[in-house]
Amino acid sequence: MASSPRLRVPPKEPEARKGRGMEDNAPGSRSGEAGRPALLSFDEMPEWFQHDNNEWILHGYRPISGSVRASFRSWCYLHNETVNIYSHLIPAAVFLLGEWFILQYLASKYSRVTSTDFVAFSFFMLTATICYALSALYHTLMNHSCTVDHFCHRLDMLGIGVFIVGDIILGVYIIFRCETTLRNIYWSMIGVFGAFTIFTNVHPKLQSHKYRSMRTLAFVATGMSVVAPLIHGLDMFGLDLMNKKAFTYTMVAKVGCLLSGTALYAMRFPESWWPGKFDMCSSHSFMHFLVVCAAVIQMIGASNHRNERRPSKLGSAGGESGSRPLLGAGMLTFTTKGIMFTLGAKIRSNVYALPAAGALLASPPVASNNLP
């Protein structure tokens, strides 16, 4: 007697392989409008993703894509990382284009511009571009996979460390523009601190909870390395000239923005107070906005104090023949990120605190007897 035919049933794909929240483009799967993947809730995301992210953001998550192309396609639709991506992607483009404009600005405004002037300002703009670009990359690819998410997070920390170094280097250059030896000593010190910070936050073996304190201290040490040249500058040049360089009230406003952003992120406000109401624009997004506001405040404050005539080679009228410009290019000083530190076991993304040295980026011309 012939046996009855048996239907071959394909084995069910293991849950561990497919994963919760995995993007599935097969027919009949959940999908949004125009072929976009349906956005998921926090509970639908994989466990590793939940562990690394904000539990108070309830909805708007992209499925785990497993594809670089799919992750970059998310630039074209709204989700809970859209604001975080574009708040750094656009500034990255601005700083990249500003690299050329700042060189033109310096060459046209000042009669005595050296190659070191160009290097200092170009390095600052370049490090800002790297920082913002890597941050946008991280927020774009964080839904790719656990491995790619952690790798891009290290790149994000790399960008922050690089930008802190670039920020402080430009500040030190403005303070000690005419003191080559002191300037090079402080540059070397900052370079060592910055290299150590980048190493501790990028090396895979130092990413565990065991080394979190060391990573935090490395960031704090790099950010606080600006204190030494500040004190040295006060002792050498006096409070009046340093105030002109630092624009105290502008610095206070800028630091206020940065500290406010840090506080919002640390407290997860407002999403922790109203869960589900701020999924698309959360504390991380507000922190980004406040960082941009700090840069705008710095730009406006510095440019308002740079309303000077282009100095003549024969000396300016009014008896200040011995005066010389102290390069500041205040209209292009975009200082944003400062001392980094970790707040809590689950805070693993960008946290901003006091700016490293951004307020020391401009100075009006002064008489020769007041110059360093």
Bond before 270 cis per omega within 30 degrees: yes
The C-alpha angle 59, 60, 63, rounded to 5 degrees, equals: 110
Say whether 232 counts as a known binding-site residue: no
338 CB contacts (<8 Å, ≥6 apart)? 164, 167, 223, 258, 352, 353, 354, 355, 356, 358
> How is the chain split among helix, strand and coil, in percent rounded to 5?
60, 5, 40
What is residue 237's three-state secondary structure? helix
Cβ-contact 259, 353 below 8 angstroms: yes
Residue 361: phi and psi, rounded to 5, are: -120, 10
Residue 338: phi and psi, rounded to 5, are: -130, -140
Helix (H) or strand (E) run with residue 251 in it: helix 248-267
Say whether 139 counts as a known binding-site residue: yes
What is residue 61's three-state secondary structure? strand
d(CA 315, CA 322): 6
d(CA 325, CA 315): 11
Say whether 288 counts as a known binding-site residue: yes
Please enumerate, by residue number, every residue annotated as part of a binding site.
139, 284, 288
Please enumerate, by residue number, every residue annotated as part of a binding site for Zn(2+).
139, 284, 288
